Chains A and B, each alone.
Chain A
Amino acid sequence: MFFTNLILALVVLTNLKLLGSSRLGASIRVVAAQGVALGLLPILAHWPELSVHFGLLAAGTIAIKGVVFPWLLFRAIREAEIAREVEPYVGYAASLVTGAAALGAAFWLCTRLPVPEGLASPWLVPVSFFSIFAGLFLIVSRKRAVSQVLGFLVLENGIYTFGVGVAVRTPFLVEAGVLLDVFVAVFVMGITIFHINREFDHINTDRLSTLKD
């Protein structure tokens, strides 16, 4: 219970840090840390019943979110020679205020839904909703392609938190499939970022605006 709450608190803090930070390198590390913390969640949420299933899931999550993704994204920003987000559509202070509002909305939403009893922590559901809101907000408010991928990862982390903590019956095959899909998604996005960088000499998606009616 204590460790689960600790992880959830860490998730909230990392989300707020991402909303207020302009440094891409730091943001990638923060998302990696969040991924590793969440990787431990399946083991802690079901403590003390340990199983190979949760062990494998935790190992896979930590390896992919803690090692492979940061490596991939660091490569992308090194190739593009960028270190910072450029003037996002919503400023950092405004982003933080929005984040605080989203946190409140997440807690309010949980009072409206019949949350199942006997969860590892009463914070599981609101924190997962907060991550989802924060991820969606990062995707729409940032210009760098890398930041949008980070937003996608935060969104996915939020959904993962809910899946692991609340919907415990997901079979192993599906969990492995989800992890594989997320891995391939970020991999393909990484390759696309590489191409965007080569084509435009930068990776700001606001320049991707030729196609419209």
Chain B
Amino acid sequence: MILTLVILPLLAGLLAFVLPQPVLRRGLLIGTALMHAAITAVCWKATPTPALDGWLALDAAGLLFLSITSFLFLMVSFYVAGYLGQEANRRAMDPEEGFLFDNAPEAAFIGCLLLFLAAMTLVTVSQHFGLLWVAIEATTLASAPLIYFHRHHRSLEATWKYLLICSVGIALALLANFFLGVAATQTTDNDFPMVLPNLVAHAANLQTPWLKVACVLFFVGYGTKMGLAPLHTWLPDAHSEAPSAVSALLSGAVLNCAFLGLVRVQQICVAAGLGDFGRDVWIALGLISLVVSAVFILGQTDYKRLLAYSSVENMGIIAIGVGLGGVGVFGAMLQAVNHSLAKAMLFLLSGNILTRYQSKNIAKVRGLLLAAPATGLLWLAGFLAITGTPPFGLFLSKFTILKAAFDGGHSWIAIVLLGFLAIIFIGMTTAFLAMAQGEPDKTANQGEDRWWQIMPPAVLGFLVLCLGLTIPAKLSGVLHQIALTLGGAP
């Protein structure tokens, strides 16, 4: 079953490159996404048997992130199918600088999208550290052509930065893998497989200096991909220049994949008695991300970049949660789920706004509620959700993390966190409210939104709301299990 999850999108992706009809390709995209989501749902009922000598297995953390990825991909595939019907093979006018550009061929776009899903699935099911690395690098390579969908110089610049910065970062994570291998040379077993359960079981025998260096390099490598400041420089560019549906996947799914890689590292650190060392790094990177994002959110003029910096902020909050340990880990995982849903919703909506207003500039978008009531209302709901206003899910997860900080005797972290959350709230309020209110100009009145522009973000928003009202027992169980593997009973 695990192999099917990886191979299905892989084959579908290769098929998409050769299918002649656009309708067939879009059908293939949605069909694959539906099947992938269905198999993932079955995994919640019965844990699938490990494959390839335990290299591929689904533990609690893997299941959580697999589910987020699969669900987001399903929603995005509906949006993409509609979007391509409108945008594919068309010469478009650049809204910012007024030149004409082409869009990438649809076959390549859908093909890369499906390969991207295969790579992300492989990340979530990999128990072997080498394979995990191969999969995370594969997500970078499969998504780079997606960012360059609009063929113009700005998206090209974003693609180049993304490719080079993430490849270099991830190359350092490969070095970290080798260091981890050296750290394990003292273990008794001569043929020591680098799979997670094995490493955790023999963690006490790992050589501490090598493990520490490996840990730091993992943070640099996967932290780059996760978008933790100061390694986040590729993130705002890639998120603002990619088509909105791709930004939704980058923010909601890829950042989580890299986060999962770091969670695996922390699991080994905890088992090896280096939990505190790891936690300090998590908290330091989390606080830096919070400060950097707050600085760039205040006075931001581009709403897609605003959302991108909000992703840096949320990754920072998640990192702080993991760093606090115990209940904080529970809160961090919940925050990861909520953030993925809310941010994907907002990015899809930003796509609606961009097509309607032909500008990414916050000052040029006015009267969203009058021009497009559905998008406008969802945009406001998304704003309330992402800033952590009750009754949305992010309120609960941020509250849990704050409570963990106070209870654990880290009041100063809680106070700093609250302070920056307030600053970010002010920055986001100015932008979002100004866009929603006022009188729309003539260009904005282009009729109703289509169903594919409304349905996916509405479903995502509804789920964030539900997670704020009640957490299903199954989900709560999985979150507890993850918190246990990262040390400390919640």
Contact = CB atoms under 8 A, between A and B. Distances in A.
Contacts of A195: 148, 151, 156
Given A163-B178, A167-B178, A188-B144, A113 B210 contact: yes
Contact of B305 (A159, A189, A213): A213
A152 to B, nearest CB: 6
A178 B134 contact: yes
A162 B175 contact: yes
Contacts of A173: 130-131
Contacts of A162: 175, 178
Contacts of A200: 153
A171 B181 CA distance: 11
B185 interface: yes
A153 B241 CA distance: 27
| Most chain A beta-carbon contacts within 10 A, residue among B167, B194, B236, B241 | B167
Contacts of B164: 139, 148, 152, 189
Interface string B186-216: 0000011110000000000001011001000
Contact of B157 (A139, A174, A208): A208
B137 interface: yes
Contact of B174 (A139, A152, A159, A171): A159
A146 interface: no
Contacts of B133: 174, 178
Interface residues of B, number: 51
B168 A155 contact: yes
B60 to A, nearest CB: 24
A190 to B, nearest CB: 11
B431 to A, nearest CB: 14
Contacts of A145: 160
A12 to B, nearest CB: 18
Contact of B171 (A116, A156, A166, A211): A156
A155 B171 contact: yes
A103 B131 CA distance: 31
Interface string B162-175: 01100110010011
B240 A211 contact: yes
B168 A213 contact: no
Contacts, number: 117
Given A113-B213, A159-B171, A213-B300, A169 B163 contact: no
Nearest to A159: B175
Contacts of B192: 169
Given A113-B209, A162-B175, A167 B168 contact: no
Contact of A185 (B141, B152, B185, B193): B141
A170 B175 contact: no
Q: Is the interface of A mostly helix, strand, loop or mixed?
A: helix
Given A159-B174, A167-B182, A174 B130 contact: yes
Interface in B207-238: 207, 209-210, 213, 236-237
Contacts of A180: 134
B296 A213 contact: yes
Nearest to B141: A184
Nearest to A151: B168
| Dominant SS among interface residues on chain B | helix
B145 interface: yes
Contacts of B207: 114
B159 interface: yes
A167 B181 contact: yes
Interface in A180-213: 180-181, 184-185, 188-189, 192, 195-196, 199-200, 205, 208-211, 213
Contacts of A184: 138, 141
B161 A208 contact: yes
A210 B182 contact: no
B403 interface: no
Contact of A199 (B156, B161, B194, B300): B156
A192 B300 CA distance: 29
A57 interface: no
A105 B163 CA distance: 28
A166 B148 contact: no
A170 B141 contact: no
Given A181-B141, A184-B141, A211-B158, A116 B182 contact: yes
A170 B148 contact: no
B264 interface: no
B356 interface: no
Contacts of A48: none
Contacts of A114: 207, 209-210
A174 B160 contact: no
A136 interface: yes
Given A132-B175, A170-B130, A178-B130, A185 B163 contact: yes
Contacts of A136: 168
Given A181-B137, A199-B153, A174 B128 contact: yes
13 contacts: A113-B210, A139-B168, A167-B179, A169-B194, A174-B130, A181-B141, A208-B156, A209-B157, A210-B153, A211-B154, A211-B161, A213-B296, A213-B305
Given A152-B171, A196-B160, 7 more contacts: A145-B160, A159-B174, A162-B178, A163-B178, A180-B134, A185-B141, A185-B163
The 5 tightest CB contacts between A and B, nearest first, are A174-B130, A167-B181, A177-B134, A208-B157, A167-B178
